[in-house]
Chain A
Amino acid sequence: MRRLIHFVREALANIRLNRTTTIIAVATTAFTLACFGVFLLLYLNLRAMATSLQSDFKVVVYVKDGTPPPGLSELQGLLKADPGVQALVYVSKEQALADFRAQFPEESHLLQGLGENPLPASFIVTLAPSRRSPDGVRRWAERFKSTPGVEQVQYSRDWIDNLTTVVGYLELAAVGIGTVLSAASITIIASTIRLTLYARRDEIDIMRLIGATAGFIKIPYLIEGAMLGVMGSAVSLVMLKGGFELFRARLGMPGRFLGIESGVHFFSGQVAVLILVAGLVLGFVGSLVSVLDLGRAKS
């Protein structure tokens, strides 16, 4: 315990000793992590959106006009029994018309001249998650297209698939950008710790001469690196939160984004903690890189 207090006190003393370099290191780390954070925010929000769209994805099975009630029941039974169907909602012709009028009140006059309700009855099918892949949906639709009583099976998931592909690319880019920016953070913190080591080289020599082990000498610098990393990531989170709120206020979309109800969200508490931990790890690794040189120096 006494040693731990000593290590933390030494780490804080190092930070105080090199106040300017500490500020520069924290600021640079914060900017670096913030760049990655912007990217991460974009990626997480698009992924959430893609997931939301995937779960909302519906297939519409239009019923042939004039299908008698027994045929309709048979079709409903077939759909219900299908293992690929998770949920099923029947929309009658009358319901379809009412929905159309409700959704497009200004265009409802278009139907007035037709006399008879031209809208078909339909089944809104929610497919089981295992059938929602592009191939799965296509195969399911092909199978039901030729079922008696079915006029058409309609689905439009091209853009959802495109979005999923983009999210996939973003994921790859996130790994790439994250790696590069992590290396940058490590380098910055390593340089800061090197400066500290240089400033305290006489003290380090004295510690060695009185019998301090390499570990005893290195630990305060590792703690210092970890502290710099955490401070950098905390500042980056503050910057990101500020920027995020500004962006949201500018676009005036507290709850919606690109028409999606889920809207845009800042990092969850869990992700924010992960970012802090990432900063801690980066700082620790940066410091480790520097103190390895110390280990190679003569005992």
Chain B
Amino acid sequence: MIQVFHVTKHYDRRPALTDVNLQIGKGEFVLLMGPSGAGKTTLLKLLYCATSLDEGQILIQGRNVARLKPSAVPYLRRTMGVVFQDFKLLPKKSVYENVALPLLVQGLSTFETRRKVMEALKAVGVDHRKESRPAMLSAGEQQRVCIARSIVNSPIILLADEPTGNMDAALASEIVELFKTINARGTTVLVATHNRQVIEQVGRRVVALDQGKVVSDEGKGL
């Protein structure tokens, strides 16, 4: 599903990732662990083509992302859902409209969009807030909306960057349960976190990064 070969990435000559190798199979739930600056976010950004790599190769479903034409990038992104620590919701749009956006860009019918959006909102438990603007929601609710948006088009890969970053333990636990449910439906999930509680709660494969290098890969194949 995801294959990372000898990937190196620099920001202003400072190495963010150095010779990273990683293989993630279909339906796996992988946690990327490491302190701030370890390279977790950079690795995720490389996977959803938000930045380009300096060396190495990344294959996603057999497609080499380094060789993708810019015009092909949106279509690759449509096969994955991305959950951000800062949610990245459009403030002037309602919860419903935010979640519907990935379907709108794909040109789905109104009927199909409504069905899928309501399904996603129910799955994360915020269907009762569909008319609200993001600013009217709590951090936990906003993160749920972000997750709903990331799963609304049934992606084959879900990437999450510190999804529980600013949440208390109870809220973080709820979000982790959501990811586990999504993974149970067959979606490959890759979550970047430095939260020990999340790692323990998931209890799956943990890839540890430090100073841009993979320092351990535990629980592979579980």
Which of B10-18, B30-38, B70-78, B164-172 participates in binding chain A? B70-78
**Are B102's CB and A211's CB within 8 A?**
yes
> Given A2, A207, A210, which contacts B110 in the complex, CB threshold below 8 Å?
A2
Quick one: given A2-B104, A6-B104, are A211 and B78 in contact (CB under 8 Å)? Answer: yes
A208: which B residues are within 8 A, CB to CB? Answer: 74, 77
Who on chain A is nearest to B50 by CB?
A209
- Tell yes or no: A203 within 8 A of B by CB: yes
Quick one: given A2-B104, A2-B109, are A211 and B70 in contact (CB under 8 Å)? Answer: no
B88: which A residues are within 8 A, CB to CB? Answer: 202, 205-206, 209
Question: What's the minimum C-beta distance from A2 to chain B, rounded to whole angstroms?
Answer: 6
Per the bound structure, the CA–CA distance linking A210 and B102 in Å amounts to: 6
Who on chain B is nearest to A202 by CB?
B88
Per the bound structure, the CA–CA distance linking A101 and B201 in Å amounts to: 115
Q: Which of B91-137 contact A (CB under 8 A)?
A: 92, 101-102, 104-107, 109-110
> Given B50, B51, B52, B74, which contacts A213 in the complex, CB threshold below 8 Å?
B74
> Given B70, B78, B107, B109, which contacts A299 in the complex, CB threshold below 8 Å?
B70
- Tell yes or no: A13 within 8 A of B by CB: yes
- Tell yes or no: B190 within 8 A of A by CB: no
Q: Which of B59-93 contact A (CB under 8 A)?
A: 70-71, 73-75, 77-78, 82, 88-90, 92
**Are A206's CB and B90's CB within 8 A?**
yes
B50: which A residues are within 8 A, CB to CB? Answer: 209
A210: which B residues are within 8 A, CB to CB? Answer: 77, 82, 101-102, 105, 149
Question: What's the minimum C-beta distance from B13 to chain A, rounded to whole angstroms?
Answer: 19
Quick one: given A3-B104, A211-B77, A212-B105, are A299 and B110 in contact (CB under 8 Å)? Answer: no
A202, A208, A214, A299: most-surrounded residue (chain B CB, <10 A): A299
B71: which A residues are within 8 A, CB to CB? Answer: 213-214
- Tell yes or no: A169 within 8 A of B by CB: no
Number of interface residues of B (CB under 8 A): 26
Who on chain A is nearest to B93 by CB?
A203
Who on chain B is nearest to A212 by CB?
B105
- Tell yes or no: A216 within 8 A of B by CB: yes
Quick one: given A13-B92, A214-B71, A216-B105, are A209 and B48 in contact (CB under 8 Å)? Answer: yes
- Tell yes or no: B24 within 8 A of A by CB: no
Per the bound structure, the CA–CA distance linking A210 and B149 in Å amounts to: 9
- Tell yes or no: B49 within 8 A of A by CB: yes
Per the bound structure, the CA–CA distance linking A208 and B88 in Å amounts to: 12
Who on chain B is nearest to A296 by CB?
B70
Per the bound structure, the CA–CA distance linking A208 and B104 in Å amounts to: 13
**Are A213's CB and B90's CB within 8 A?**
no
Contact indicator per residue, chain B 142-174, by CB within 8 Å of chain A (1) or not (0): 000000010000000000000000000000000
Q: Which of A205-256 contact B (CB under 8 A)?
A: 205-214, 216
A299: which B residues are within 8 A, CB to CB? Answer: 49, 70, 73-74
Who on chain A is nearest to B78 by CB?
A211
B50, B70, B105, B106: most-surrounded residue (chain A CB, <10 A): B105
B101: which A residues are within 8 A, CB to CB? Answer: 206-207, 210, 212
Per the bound structure, the CA–CA distance linking A74 and B75 in Å amounts to: 88
B92: which A residues are within 8 A, CB to CB? Answer: 13
Per the bound structure, the CA–CA distance linking A216 and B103 in Å amounts to: 12
Per the bound structure, the CA–CA distance linking A206 and B93 in Å amounts to: 13
Per the bound structure, the CA–CA distance linking A205 and B52 in Å amounts to: 16
Who on chain B is nearest to A203 by CB?
B90
A206, A210, A214, A299: most-surrounded residue (chain B CB, <10 A): A210
Quick one: given A209-B48, A214-B71, are A3 and B107 in contact (CB under 8 Å)? Answer: yes
B49: which A residues are within 8 A, CB to CB? Answer: 299
Q: Which of A167-214 contact B (CB under 8 A)?
A: 202-203, 205-214
Question: What's the minimum C-beta distance from B53 to chain A, rounded to whole angstroms?
Answer: 13
**Are B74's CB and A211's CB within 8 A?**
yes
Per the bound structure, the CA–CA distance linking A202 and B86 in Å amounts to: 12
> Which residues of A approach B to under 8 Å, CB–CB?
2-3, 6, 13, 202-203, 205-214, 216, 298-299
Taking A206-B88, A209-B82, A211-B106 as given, write out 5 further A-B residue pairs in contact, using a Cβ cutoff of 8 Å, ordered by the A residue number: A3-B104, A210-B101, A210-B102, A211-B102, A213-B74
Top-5 shortest CB links A-B: A211-B78, A211-B77, A212-B105, A299-B70, A299-B73
